[in-house]
Structure 1
């Protein structure tokens, strides 16, 4: 079984198109999206339309939830979010708000006797950051009932073994924080011998197109630069 895991597209249709092109080349069995389809970027409706058109299995992210609420429910009240949250809420079509509202918060799969849990932030909270070397990550992996935890939210891809369990962060398709403006996602493959293979993919795309769109729409320069530089 070969699964592509994407997340944190954040209204960036150009990076999503490029990532899906690469995924199609990988000949995966299915694609799972870990949420945050919207927020920050200027194409929330286009992103959701593509996810729906491709019938991609998807869960809800913290920014998705906050946009539905039109409140700082699960995002920080920052200068950028004070622009991005109301802009996205007003831009988003009602049918797409309904779509986001009805997404599940997690997905559990059992593949070749491997139990896999897919979440956005952590199994505990949708907006909890699980960095690979932090104490909370170690605690969660120790108590995890599943064999594999696949998450996102940090926008930084990583794979780490915790004794007999595997922690995977698939990174961010649309708004990376790796110091480069490239889309990242992961390929998760479970073979017949019960072995789990993980590959992090980093894909360049024409990021100057989204920079141009955001500039035309008069998005804050600090927000535009975060897409341009691949930083917070």
Structure 2
């Protein structure tokens, strides 16, 4: 089965539409969304609707959580605080109700899906180093955990002896005796200098 996993749209409708077209061309049977439909971009309602219509598994991100009033905006940087306030004003009741139905974590086949950190989905931890990854490998049992949140595509893998390795190369040949944490990057606001989603 071919499936796509996307994350961190952040209200960027043009980027989301382009990615959905690419996913269709690639022939993916299912799309799963790891959170942050809103924040920063100017099309929160349109993005929420497209995610609802196209994605099977839909997760909450920290910006979604804050837009729903479930997270204190003081925990965000100043630009994010301003964008969350703006998003709260623009988010329709219908879009808010759709977002409120998104899950915090989900499992799909032998994969675990979460916006930021497995086992602690509402703590919004970043997984950027091998030490951080090693701690989070303890929080899920599946072979692979897909995350977003940092907007940085990264693959971590751990062997049977607990040795963690990190790669920024986004091609992977799975080794059965290894487990993986894969950050899928960001559709709407990449932070790795690569504008491709």
Q: Report the TM-score range of the alignment, normalised by the length of the smaller protein.
A: 0.7 to 0.9
Higher strand share: 1
Match of 1:175 in 2: 189
Cα separation, partners in 2 of 1:137 and 1:64, compared to 1, 3 Å: same
Match of 2:117 in 1: 122
Secondary structure of the 2:68 match is helix
Matches within 5 A, 1:44-55: 44-55=44-55
| Counterpart contact for 2:57–2:106, Cα < 8 Å | no
Match of 2:169 in 1: none
Match of 1:206 in 2: none
Paired with 1:143 and 1:43, the residues of 2 have a C-alpha distance of 34
Match of 1:62 in 2: 62
Matches within 5 A, 1:21-40: 21-40=21-40
Secondary structure of the 2:51 match is helix
Q: Shift of the alpha carbon at 1:3?
A: 1.4
Q: Shift of the alpha carbon at 1:139?
A: 1.8
Measured on the aligned residues, the alpha-carbon RMSD in Å equals 1.7
Instruction: Tell me the TM-score normalized by structure 1.
Output: 0.71
Cα separation, partners in 2 of 1:36 and 1:90, compared to 1, 3 Å: same
Match of 1:85 in 2: 84
Match of 2:5 in 1: 5
Cα separation, partners in 2 of 1:70 and 1:57, compared to 1, 3 Å: closer
Instruction: Tell me the TM-score normalized by structure 2.
Output: 0.83
Secondary structure of the 2:47 match is helix
2:171 maps to 1:165: no
Secondary structure of the 2:75 match is coil
Secondary structure of the 2:113 match is strand
| Counterpart contact for 1:70–1:86, Cα < 8 Å | no
Paired with 2:50 and 2:25, the residues of 1 have a C-alpha distance of 18
Q: C-alpha deviations, 1:34-68, integer Å up to 9, x for none?
A: 01000011000111121223254311111100110
Paired with 2:106 and 2:139, the residues of 1 have a C-alpha distance of 18
Paired with 1:121 and 1:83, the residues of 2 have a C-alpha distance of 22
How many residue pairs get aligned? The number is 177
Cα separation, partners in 2 of 1:82 and 1:142, compared to 1, 3 Å: closer
Paired with 2:181 and 2:81, the residues of 1 have a C-alpha distance of 33
| Counterpart contact for 1:70–1:89, Cα < 8 Å | no
| Counterpart contact for 2:31–2:54, Cα < 8 Å | no
Task: After the TM superposition, list the runs of 4 or more consecutive aligned residues in structure 1 that deviate by more than 3 angstroms.
Answer: none
Which ranges in structure 2 are unaligned for 5 or more consecutive residues?
160-177
| Counterpart contact for 1:70–1:85, Cα < 8 Å | no
